[in-house]
Structure 1
Amino acid sequence: MALEQYIQRIEEKLHLLVKKIQQVQAENVMLREEVTVQQQALHQQQQSIEHLEEKLHLMKIAASTQNSPNVSSEDDAFRKEVRGKINEYIKEIDRCIALLNG
């Protein structure tokens, strides 16, 4: 009879182990879904940050084209950078026009 009790205890432990595995698997599925949701939220936030950075850059460009007396050295440097880029573009356009005419 000791053997039957031993087998019964093993079966009980086996059932408990199966239940525990099922719980862990269910938790794993839930955590994977949560990770997916968090990754999507992170992606949306990154896109929002990129959009806001682009808007900020455009606002700086717009502000640099206006002549305001209260210009910090950082704004002044940015304004010079923007003007330099514009001058480069104008030179490139002039070269293209010259190639088209010539």
Structure 2
Amino acid sequence: MAVTDQLNNVLDKTQRLIALCDSLKEENDLLRLENQSLQVALEAGKSKVADLEEKARALKLARSLEEIAVAKQGTNEKALDIKQKISEFVREIDKCIVLLKK
């Protein structure tokens, strides 16, 4: 092989390597852009999860407060029922006392 053939061969291989390098740079740039968009999506997802967890905690707290209020209301209703029954018993006792006095 002549020196010129070897030189041409080296030049051809160099041009292919440069083309391959350019192609890999383009691919690398595309992958970096994709990576950035995925990181943005991930951060948005994390933010959404944090918001939903906060809403879930608030809802859980609201429900527990509502249960306490309902239980308290139920207790108040029971107390009112008991007071009414006591009043009825007192009226019955008063009627019995009036009948005994006669």
| TM bin (shorter chain) | 0.5 to 0.7
Distance 1:17 1:2 in 2: 23
Q: CA RMSD in A?
A: 1.3
5 Å matches for 1:11-90? 11-67=11-67
Distance 1:15 1:40 in 2: 38
TM-score (norm 1): 0.64
Deviation, 1:66, is 1.8
In structure 1, the gaps of 5 or more residues are 69-102
Aligned-partner SS, 2:67: coil
Q: Deviations over 1:37-95 (max 9, x none)?
A: 00000010001000000000000000101227xxxxxxxxxxxxxxxxxxxxxxxxxxx
Aligned-partner SS, 1:66: helix
Deviant stretches of 4+, over 4 Å: none
In structure 2, the gaps of 5 or more residues are 69-102
Distance 2:38 2:55 in 1: 25
Give the share of equivalent positions with the same residue, in percent.
Answer: 28
Distance 2:67 2:48 in 1: 30
Bigger RCO of structures 1 and 2 (CA < 8 A, at least 6 apart): 1
Distance 2:26 2:17 in 1: 14
2:47 partner letter = Q
Q: Looking at secondary structure, tell me which structure has more helix per residue.
A: 2
TM-score (norm 2): 0.64
Distance 2:31 2:59 in 1: 41
Deviation, 1:2, is 0.7
* Larger Rg, first or second structure (1 or 2): 2
